[in-house]
Amino acid sequence: MKLEWTKAPMGRRNFLKTATALGASAALPMGFAGQAMASEGSTLRVRSYGDMSTMDPAHSNGVFDEEIHASVYNKLIQYKPGSEWGWQLDAASMIEQADPTHINFALRDDIGFTNGHGAMTAEDVKFSFERIIADETESPNKPDMGSFSHVEVTGEREGTIVLNEPFAPLWSIALPYITGNIVSKAATEAAGGRIGTDPVAESGPYLRASWSPKEKTVLTRNPDWKGDAPAWDNIEILPIDDENTAEIAFEAGELDFTRVSLGSVERYRAGVPNGGTLLENPSLFYVWLGMNLDHPKLQNPLLRQAIQHAIDVPSILEAAYFGAVEPSTGIIAPGLAGHREAGKVAPAADFARAAELLAESGETNVTLTLDVLNKTTFTTTAQIIQATLAGIGITVEINVLESGAFWDSGNNENLQLVLNRFSMTPDPTYATAWFTTEQAGIWNWENFRNAEFDQLHADAARETDLAKRAEMYIRAQDLMEESGAYRFITHEATPVVHSSGIIPALRPDGLTLLRYFGKS
C-alpha cells in the first residue's frame, strides 16, 4: 500500500506535531499544562539587540534600556510613531515655548506612580531633569540635556523649564528621549538617589513584571493607567544580539517583531514566513571612511581627494550591504534638518579624476593601513576599498580589530585610514558634536580641526529657525568633505519583519515605540 502523506487529512508535519503533543501531554504531569494556562492575555514578543542594564534613566545605556523605560515611565512628550520625525504629548497636557529659554508645561492630572508614591507632580519633573545634570548623579546622559538649567515649579502640576541659552535639540532629544523620562522623586530618594535594575515606581501604560537577565524582560499592562489603553496585555522583550538567530526565532513563530539583517532583505522581499510583513525603514547611523589629518602620510590634500574619488560607494553597497541601502551624502540622514541632497563627491568613483589628482599630488608608492571593526560588513567594505584604491596605485593594508580595540582608536597615533560607523539621535547636533576640534583624538579620529565648523556646530544648537539651522549643518558637512578627510558611504537601513497579528509602532528610523504597538 502506498501512503500518500501529502493528501492525508492531517499533514505529516501536523501529524507529527499532534502525536508529539499528545505523547508529551500524556507523559507530563500538570506542571506543563498549568504553565500554558497561566499565560493569560495577549502577548507581544519582540527582539531587542541587547539586555536591559538599569531602570534608571540617568544611567541608561541606550536603546535597549530606553525601549523599556519609555513603556513604564512617562515623559512630557514622546516621539510620534510614523515616517516623519515629530512628537506628541505624553505626561504633559500642555507644553509651549514661552521664549527661547523658557518652556512652560502642565501635567495631566491622571498619572500616578506605583507603590503608593502618589500622583505625578511638577516636583517629579524638576527632580528627574535636574538629577541628570547634577554632578553627583554621574549620568553619562548629561550632554543630552545641553543648556538645560533648571525647572521652576509654578504649581502642583505646572512648571517652567529654564535653559541657559536656546537649545533646539530639547524638542528632539532631551525631552522625548532618554533624559525625558520622569521618575518619582519620593521613590528615588527613598532608594538612596539611584535606581538599580528594579524599578522603584512606575507610571506608564506598562509595568515591568519581571526581568531574567540575558533571557527576557516582561512588561504587563498597568491596571492604574488612565490614558489610552495599550493594545497588548503583555510584552516580552528578548535580548538576541545575533540577527540570524532572531530571524530563525521569527520564522519558528517565537517572535512577533525583529530587526533583520540586510543580507536577508532580498529573501524577505520575496515573502515573509507565516504571513508576516517586511518593513524597510531608513536609519540614522552613518558610515564613512575617515583619513587621519595628523598622520604624516596623509598631509597632502590632493592625495586625500584622490582617495575620495577612487572609492566606489555603489560597489560597496552592493557587495557589503546587499544592495539594501542607499549612499549617504554626509553625516545627517534624510528627514533631519541639514541633510544634504547631494555631496560634493558623487557616490560613484571617478577613477580618471582620482588618478589625475594622485598624479598632481606627486605622491608615489603610497601604502596605507585601513583599520576596521571585525564585522563582515566592514571587512567586505574594506576589501572593496582596498581593490578600488589599488586601481589608482594606492596599496591598502587592512587591519581588522576587535570592538574594544577598535573603539579605542582615538588613542592610536598611527591611525591612517579608518572605516567608521556612528549611531545617532534624531537631531543633527548629535552628528556634528563628534567632529569638533574639542573632540580631536577622542571621537574625532580624523583630527579634523576647523574653526568655522566649530562655530557652526555651536550656533546651530542655539538656532531655533529650522531653515537657518539646516543651512548651517549643510555648510558644516561641506567643510568636512572639502577637508578631504571623509568619504561618506551610507546611513544603512533598519529592515524589520513583523507577524501578521500586529501593527508595529516605529520611529522613522525603525526603532520601536512599544507602548503604541497595536493589533491587526
Report the interface residues with other proteins, using CB under 8 A. Answer: 13, 16-17, 20, 28, 31-32, 35, 51, 53-54, 61-62, 135, 138, 140-144, 194, 196-197, 212-216, 238-242, 245-246, 248-249, 251-255, 401-408, 410-411, 434, 443
What is the identity of the amino acid at 429?
T
User: Angle at the Cα of 119 (from 115 to 125), degrees rounded to 5?
Assistant: 105
Question: Minimum CB separation from other proteins for residue 261, in Å?
Answer: 15
C-beta closer to other proteins: residue 82 or 253? 253
Element containing residue 291 per DSSP (H, E): strand 286-291
C-beta closer to other proteins: residue 253 or 323? 253
C-beta closer to other proteins: residue 99 or 402? 402
C-beta closer to other proteins: residue 192 or 223? 192
Question: How far is 7 from 147, CA to CA, in rounded Å?
Answer: 71
Check the CA dihedral 472-473-478-481 and report its sign: positive
C-beta closer to other proteins: residue 20 or 42? 20
Query: Which residue from 112, 124, 118 is spatially nearest to 204, judged by alpha carbons?
Result: 112
Question: Minimum CB separation from other proteins for residue 35, in Å?
Answer: 5
3-state secondary structure 184-210: CHHHHHHCCCCCCCCCCCCCCCEEEEE
Where in 50-176 does DSSP place strands (E)?
77-79, 87-89, 92-99, 102-107, 148-153, 158-163
Question: Minimum CB separation from other proteins for residue 442, in Å?
Answer: 8
216: which 3 cell numbers?
Answer: 527576557
Distances (CA, A) of 348 to 73, 274, 330, 456: 46, 39, 15, 29
Question: Minimum CB separation from other proteins for residue 23, in Å?
Answer: 11
Question: How far is 414 from 166, CA to CA, in rounded Å?
Answer: 40
Contact 265, 324 (CB under 8 A): yes
Q: Using DSSP, how many helices (H) and how many strands (E) does the chain show? A: 15, 20
SS3 444: strand
Question: Minimum CB separation from other proteins for residue 144, in Å?
Answer: 7
453: which 3 cell numbers?
Answer: 565648523
Q: How many CA atoms does the CB half-sphere of 302 hold within 13 Å?
A: 11
Question: Minimum CB separation from other proteins for residue 355, in Å?
Answer: 36
Query: Which residue from 168, 184, 72 is spatially nearest to 128, judged by alpha carbons?
Result: 184
Which single residue is written with the C-alpha cell 596623509? 298
C-beta closer to other proteins: residue 29 or 362? 29
C-beta closer to other proteins: residue 6 or 364? 6
C-beta closer to other proteins: residue 246 or 461? 246
Question: Minimum CB separation from other proteins for residue 52, in Å?
Answer: 9
C-beta closer to other proteins: residue 311 or 418? 418
Question: Minimum CB separation from other proteins for residue 111, in Å?
Answer: 27
C-beta closer to other proteins: residue 32 or 165? 32
Distances (CA, A) of 493 to 169, 308, 499: 23, 23, 20
3-state secondary structure 7-65: HCCCCHHHHHHHHHHHHHHHHCCHHHHHHHHHCCCCEEEEEECCCCCCCCHHHCCCHHH
Question: Minimum CB separation from other proteins for residue 176, in Å?
Answer: 17
Question: Minimum CB separation from other proteins for residue 310, in Å?
Answer: 30
Question: Minimum CB separation from other proteins for residue 216, in Å?
Answer: 7
Question: Minimum CB separation from other proteins for residue 181, in Å?
Answer: 16
C-beta closer to other proteins: residue 53 or 149? 53
C-beta closer to other proteins: residue 225 or 250? 250
Question: How far is 446 from 371, CA to CA, in rounded Å?
Answer: 12
Q: At what angle do helices 451-462 and 466-482 cross, to 10 degrees?
A: 160
